[in-house]
Structure 1
Amino acid sequence: MSLGGGHSAEGSNGGGIFVQFNQDCTSLVAGSSSGYHLFALTPDDGIEEIYASRSGQDTCLVDRLFSSSLVAIVTVAAPRKLIVCHYKKGTEICNYSYSNTILAVKLNRSRLVVCLEESLHIHNIRDMKILHTIRDTPPNPRGLCALAPSAELCHVAYPGSSAVGEVQIFDCVHLHAKCVLSAHDSPLAALAWSACGRRLATASERGTVIRVFLVPERTRLYEFRRGVKRCVAIACLAFSACGAYLAATSNTETVHVFRLAEPAAAAGAAPPADGWMEWLSSAVSAGAGYLPAQVADVLAQGRAFAAARLPRAAKRAVAAVTNVARAPRLVVATDAGAVHVFALDAAEGGDCALLRTHRLLDAPPPHRAQEESERASELGAALAGSPPRGAFDLRDHRHFPPMRTAAEPPAE
């Protein structure tokens, strides 16, 4: 739910503001040249400012622990210092200094993780003592890491290589390495945990394929194709609280929403007897031995269930799929200080209608990510009717049934 792989604390906020949703997507934090601000999502699709520090310190990183009063911040003036505050009391609880610039800060109800370029520091959230330091990690200049929101399955994921998309999983409770995932051939660009801490979403710098793994079993559950456009930088991956949706933002105007389970499969019912999903699944299964591996992989990738189009591309944007007054919503915040609220049709998906746009803070206009917009083609690719929307559940044998011709006798 944070801005891609963290936000450098050196220099300013890069011409924009730092924005991030809290762990359950009920509120939003923002850091700017005037300090840090907390906002709540209201039942009428609104945004309400609930706190402003007004410290005058340029804040480049800020994270809030769920809906509590605990806030962790890093300022441009002191990029190596982490400050933990009680915002309602207006007091500083503690501060820690590190050997290098802080690139990312992650919180849950059990641990606080500080990410530097070549190390991670794990704190106990109750007394803020350092419990463990993971040293000599592969170079991670963007501070890419993800801490599971769950205090029970408290895992942190971070790049295990700077050359390929390897993910290291570390158990922050028992303080030992858990497993390693070979997620992509290209270096990682984004990581996100589901609320339960059992699913990990990954994307690479290539920006075309998003995968979801079961941890610690290392089972690949889903694989999605974001689109056909090349040279796209994935900025954020975010699970919905219910775990049924995964949103992805990039440096284009299009935000994709993937559905992680087909309704029939989720309900335990048999899949429909006809249709693209069954036909293509069967075709991929039958021809898997004859097709090149790369072709078979592409055919087995699911497409976006829904997509939203921002009024303009943002250099950085974060997304949340949540419920507002029991209605599904896609909420997207950008580094330009804009928050866009879209309706999400849970039954049909498709193009998400823009309901409201809010301004958080006055921020400089964002740099254009590209000279010419390709909104129509990008949205069309995201919602193409062939192949169908949705993902193949790689655990379900019904999605990959055995094939035989009419003349072929049944197996003994």
Structure 2
Amino acid sequence: MNTRPIIDESSGPFALSASFNADNSCFSVALETGFRVFTSKSGDLKLAREVGGGIGCAEMLSTTRYIALVGGGKQPKFPQNKVQIWNDATQLVSTSLEFKTPIQRVRISQSHLVVVLLNNVGIYKMKSPPEKIADYETVNNPFGLCSLGSKIVAFPGRTPGQVKLFHLDSGNVSIIPAHDSPLRALALSKNGDVVATASEQGTLIRIWSFPSCTKIGELRRGIDPAVIFSLAFSPIGSLLAVTSDKSTLHIFELPTPNSVPTPEPDPKTHKWGILSKVPLLPRPFSDIYSLAATKFEIGDEHVGWGPASKSATFNAGIPGVPGGRPTKGLIGWLDDNTLLVIGAGRDARWEKFIVGVNSDGKRVVYKEGWKRYLE
């Protein structure tokens, strides 16, 4: 007798994954029946397409009519080893790429396409058909970690905790031994001169300068291990936003590439006050903590469809979906003081936050609005 719980679809659409476009002006959502595109500033629906099957991930090319689609969910529309470049003007697939293994994630820009497999990253020039320019083996990368900038693309290397940086113009490759344990999140600044990384431990975020690949800062999210959902630099690169499975959004002030070493903590503003200056105390007392933090909503999900696995090297869940679980805590900056946190799943949410200063002159982050964007 089958005693497994039945996932009820009668309550409405189920968002499998979500992703921002390059300038965060829109976000695309993959569904069991198709995909939708929303305006980031308001969370309002911009485009809805029913394609007669599940889409695991949908990556929008800037603000154009092209969207990269990979099949996913219970009844995938497309094979999970193919990338389909959808032309919404014709509502047809204009071109596709086939691979030997399932696709974990796709990144797309006006000039390049990056396809992430479990143990491989392929980099292509955006043509019809796309032209391969590089191909690299990686450690197991079930979350499809990859950040595509205008100059470089960052992804895991061949050993756990390693970041590989590929220069899109020159083809040069740099390697950063970022962590001792596997990567769980990474991000590039807008101009590509700073890289942020987090491991599956989730306690420290490390900041690296490019092209020197030197560490310029180390930020402490917390003491207890956590799953880091997302890292994102503000447009001018002065702030870093971090979300985790603790349902907390942290805002960190960043060192600049030339500020080496990281400045000493100020006891007046540090979390541990004067204890941050006492020698021989454990390191967490002197580490740099976020300048502001607040709660975001992970949302209510079925137990079997939880937000994430703790492991950055093995994960099983929804076929065709990056990480195998609905996207949670995805960060997108609208400007240097405004950011969004997007979640997929049955309880799919759009939340807007403002970074400001309170009446005491202290930096704060607060929620300005939210909605369930599928309703």
**TM-score bracket, shorter-length normalisation:** 0.7 to 0.9
Unaligned runs of 5+ in 1: 1-14, 363-412
4+ residue segments displaced more than 3 Å: 270-277, 279-284, 311-314, 346-351
Alignment of 1:156-305 (within 5 A): 156-162=153-159, 164-176=160-172, 178-230=173-225, 232-261=226-255, 275=268, 283=277, 291=280, 295=282, 298=284, 301-305=287-291
Match of 1:354 in 2: 367
Q: Distance in 1 between matches of 2:266 and 2:362?
A: 22
CA contact (8 A) 2:19 2:59 kept: yes
Q: Distance in 2 between matches of 1:206 and 1:272?
A: 23
Please state whether the residue corresponding to 1:360 is helix, strand or coil: coil
Q: Which amino acid aligns with 2:110?
A: R
CA contact (8 A) 1:308 1:342 kept: no
Q: Which has the higher helix share?
A: 1
Q: How many residues align?
A: 320
Give the deviation of 1:170 after TM superposition. 1.7
Q: Distance in 2 between matches of 1:167 and 1:182?
A: 6
Q: Distance in 2 between matches of 1:339 and 1:107?
A: 23
Q: Distance in 1 between matches of 2:111 and 2:66?
A: 13
Q: Which amino acid aligns with 2:229?
A: A
Tell me the percent identity.
Answer: 27
Q: CA RMSD in A?
A: 2.9
- CA shift in 2, pair 1:126/1:38, >3 Å: same
Does residue 64 (structure 1) correspond to residue 60 (structure 2)? The answer is yes
Does residue 322 (structure 1) correspond to residue 321 (structure 2)? The answer is no
Q: Distance in 2 between matches of 1:28 and 1:203?
A: 24
Match of 1:310 in 2: 296
Give the deviation of 1:311 after TM superposition. 3.9
Q: Which amino acid aligns with 1:65?
A: L
Please state whether the residue corresponding to 1:115 is helix, strand or coil: strand
Match of 1:395 in 2: none
CA contact (8 A) 1:65 1:109 kept: yes
CA contact (8 A) 2:87 2:93 kept: yes
Does residue 118 (structure 1) correspond to residue 113 (structure 2)? The answer is no
Q: Deviations along 1:188-227, whole A, 9 cap, x unmatched?
A: 1001111111111100000000011111201212211001
Q: Distance in 1 between matches of 2:266 and 2:343?
A: 43
CA contact (8 A) 1:146 1:193 kept: yes
Please state whether the residue corresponding to 1:353 is helix, strand or coil: strand
- CA shift in 2, pair 1:161/1:344, >3 Å: same
- CA shift in 2, pair 1:167/1:355, >3 Å: same
Q: Distance in 1 between matches of 2:63 and 2:230?
A: 21
Task: Please report the TM-score for the alignment, with normalisation by the length of structure 2.
Answer: 0.77
Please state whether the residue corresponding to 1:88 is helix, strand or coil: coil
Give the deviation of 1:124 after TM superposition. 0.8
Match of 2:28 in 1: 29
Match of 2:44 in 1: 48
Match of 2:316 in 1: none
Q: Deviations along 1:343-368, whole A, 9 cap, x unmatched?
A: 22168565533222112226xxxxxx
Q: Which amino acid aligns with 1:238?
A: A
Match of 2:343 in 1: 334
Q: Which amino acid aligns with 1:139?
A: N
- CA shift in 2, pair 1:37/1:276, >3 Å: closer
Q: Distance in 1 between matches of 2:338 and 2:266?
A: 32
Match of 2:144 in 1: 143
